[in-house]
A and B are shown apart, each in its own frame.
Chain A
Amino acid sequence: MEDQNSCRGGFENCLNAQQTAASGLIFKEPFLWEKSRDGRCAMSIPMQDVEHSPLDPELVGDAPNLPQLSELDVVRHYTRLSQWNFGVDSGMYPLGSCTMKYNPKTNEVQASRLGFAGAHPLLDEDLCQGALELIYNLEQYLAEITGMDAVTLQPAAGAHGELAGMLTIHAYHAKQGHQRTKIIIPDTAHGTNPASATLCGYQSVNIHSGDNGILTPEAVAAVMDEETAGIMITNPNTLGLFEENIKEIAQIVHAKGGLVYGDGANLNAIMGIVKPGELGIDVIHLNLHKTFTTPHGGGGPGSGPIAVVKALEPFLPVPRVEKIPCSPNPNQSSKERGNNLNNDKNSYKYTLVYDRPDSMGRLLTFHGHFGILVRAYSYILSMGAKGLTDVSKLAVLNANYIKELLKQDFYLPYDRPCMHECVFTDKFQSDNGVTTLDMAKRIMDYGFHPPTVYFPLVVHGAIMIEPTETESKQTIDQFIHAFKSVAQEAKENPEILKSAPHLPKLSRLDEVSAARKPVLRG
């Protein structure tokens, strides 16, 4: 165990017994083209069973320059790359504002069922009733969870959902006969909000939250007018605080004919506790890849459904999935029909509806990221209503637990109960020349993914921690211990932080040169 007392950076005691990370054997791996050898091949093309038919020579060019590799070459290549990686399956990933929770494996089992995974997206609707039923039911569940009237599952991810939501608001004002020019965005909103509004032609009007991190009705009333399309509000906000004036703010916006857009990226804090529809929100997007345990961050495409109030339903993208009564089958006897009245599957069918004259049109090909929808559906059915409510309770409890236990060691700018994430800063450490970045790098040596840093922008040197409900108390205690150790090191041995991380395959990267002088080709 002697080597546990030193590490590659040459720093004494940079590992201790309670640290979850240790150094290990990691392989270097060249590019596939460097491993390529002429004639090596990992596949055999099936025997030709049709007549030879040469292509028009004009259509034929040089073969693409693909690497030539054996199957083992390829397997080792990707296995080695995966070993350089860090994911929620390998350790805690407390990235604030991102909800990097565990993705249950049952979701993968359901999504890989042949009826879903093998279904062609252009199947005639009679041949994909199960898939359409899943879309319909998932929309109903999300409407119930958000307290809204209608849902579309088309948007490809969160920012796309925001765009869909803003296009809905834009279409609504156009239909009213007077398009508006501005949108209100508080400084505690998500950074993508102004971009979505700008794409709809709205100018962002930025307003500041109050001293306690909460938006005041006065700040909204001061700028809300009849040229303002509405407000984009994130609740809980990016400080992890619940916007407690939301109802009053919604009334102010509605009184001038505006709409309230809710950024639902932080839904994980309030599911089953608060319905956004009851707070006066008119349109909200959800991130299935955050709250509903579908893969997040390189693990697969996202999905950003939006939920709207009744008045906005006509503007949703087409096609819509509707549940309609079946016309009676003439070959059935009346007795059989009578029996079927009690059998939902035979008395209703699901159909795609395109005839929506006020619709914004299609947002994505086919039915959205359908495989992701299956995973979210699997999660909702696995958890049930009580389970989903417990998710939010535990996510909030875990964040408050971390906040209370770390606030002696790290400056807490808003010392009040938080929702599912808490925000510290590097104020206590900056006297020793240690920054948020140094601590984020150092926490990797303890086996944890760094939290979100320097966001939200309203907090200088922000360290934003979101543990999620899926981490056990033991793991969270390890994380707290690790962060306390980092605070101790910041006092006693700041150098070990400034050169961190020491254990990952690559140590501190030169991010400045990478950004100033990027090398974009090999």
Chain B
Amino acid sequence: MKEITELNLPEDIKYSDSHEWAKVDAEIITIGIDDYAQDQLGEVVFVELPEVGAALSKGDQFGTVESVKAVSEIYTPVSGEVVEVNANLPDAPELVNNSPYDEGWIIKIKADDPSLLASELNDLKDKAAYIAMLKG
């Protein structure tokens, strides 16, 4: 297990209390699980993905991540429609461990309501607030 100081937590993304991250690029938001979550879960052996086109509201479960230790639900930190899922994960779930923010992303969501998106993003934590939460 990593110490909190050893965690890789980029500055340019937002974090949820349930350890997902969200990265905004115009109206497309990329979502995955963060370094803390992948480290806690241990080696990921399976990722269950949603259907492209699924409509999600903030807080909805959109899949599961399974490691040799546990099965964990993953929840979307923002509302919108699933426009893409990471097609590499079925064959290479270890990407979630090895590259949680880059090759191990899980879904991309298109937000259709900019003001809702802004308020939802505002509810998420930046790096400093997230670290403060982890420290309890």
Give me the interface of A with B, judged by CB distance under 8 Å: 430, 435, 437, 453-455, 457, 460, 511-512, 515-516
Q: A430-B1, A516-B94 are in contact. Are A511 and B68 (CB under 8 A)?
A: yes
Known: A455-B70, A511-B68. 9 other contacts (CB 8 A): A430-B1, A435-B1, A437-B69, A454-B70, A457-B70, A460-B40, A512-B43, A515-B66, A515-B68
Return A262 CB to nearest CB of chain B, in Å.
Answer: 24
Tell me which of A430, A460, A512 contacts B68 (CB under 8 A).
A512
Residue B32 CB within 8 A of the other chain: no
Asked if A454 and B69 sit within 8 Å, CB to CB, the answer is yes
Asked if B45 and A516 sit within 8 Å, CB to CB, the answer is yes
Q: How large is the interface on B (under 10, 10 to 19, 20 to 34, 35 or more residues)?
A: 10 to 19
Q: In chain B between 60 and 96, which residues have their CB closer than 8 angstroms to a CB of chain A?
A: 66, 68-70, 93-94
Query: 7 closest Cβ contacts across the A-B interface?
Result: A515-B45, A454-B69, A512-B43, A511-B68, A516-B45, A454-B70, A430-B1
The CA of A511 and the CA of B1, in the complex, are separated in Å by: 18
Sample of 21 A–B contacts (CB below 8 Å): A430-B1, A435-B1, A437-B69, A453-B69, A454-B69, A454-B70, A455-B70, A457-B70, A460-B40, A511-B68, A512-B43, A512-B45, A512-B68, A515-B45, A515-B46, A515-B66, A515-B68, A516-B45, A516-B46, A516-B93, A516-B94
Chain B CB count within 10 A is highest, among A437, A454, A511, A512, for A512
Chain A residues whose CB sits within 8 angstroms of the CB of B46 once the complex forms: 515-516
Chain B residues whose CB sits within 8 angstroms of the CB of A515 once the complex forms: 45-46, 66, 68
Q: In chain B between 74 and 122, which residues have their CB closer than 8 angstroms to a CB of chain A?
A: 93-94
Return B109 CB to nearest CB of chain A, in Å.
Answer: 22
The CA of A430 and the CA of B40, in the complex, are separated in Å by: 13
Give me the interface of B with A, judged by CB distance under 8 Å: 1, 40, 43, 45-46, 66, 68-70, 93-94
Chain B residues whose CB sits within 8 angstroms of the CB of A430 once the complex forms: 1
Chain B residues whose CB sits within 8 angstroms of the CB of A455 once the complex forms: 70
Chain A residues whose CB sits within 8 angstroms of the CB of B70 once the complex forms: 454-455, 457
Return A516 CB to nearest CB of chain B, in Å.
Answer: 5
Beta-carbon nearest neighbor of A426 in chain B? B1
The CA of A447 and the CA of B46, in the complex, are separated in Å by: 32
Return A186 CB to nearest CB of chain B, in Å.
Answer: 15
Return B96 CB to nearest CB of chain A, in Å.
Answer: 12
Chain A residues whose CB sits within 8 angstroms of the CB of B93 once the complex forms: 516
The CA of A516 and the CA of B47, in the complex, are separated in Å by: 11
Chain B residues whose CB sits within 8 angstroms of the CB of A457 once the complex forms: 70
Beta-carbon nearest neighbor of B92 in chain A? A516
Chain B residues whose CB sits within 8 angstroms of the CB of A511 once the complex forms: 68
The CA of A455 and the CA of B93, in the complex, are separated in Å by: 23
Chain B residues whose CB sits within 8 angstroms of the CB of A516 once the complex forms: 45-46, 93-94
Chain A residues whose CB sits within 8 angstroms of the CB of B40 once the complex forms: 460
The CA of A460 and the CA of B72, in the complex, are separated in Å by: 13
Chain B residues whose CB sits within 8 angstroms of the CB of A453 once the complex forms: 69
The CA of A512 and the CA of B46, in the complex, are separated in Å by: 10
Chain A CB count within 10 A is highest, among B45, B66, B70, for B45
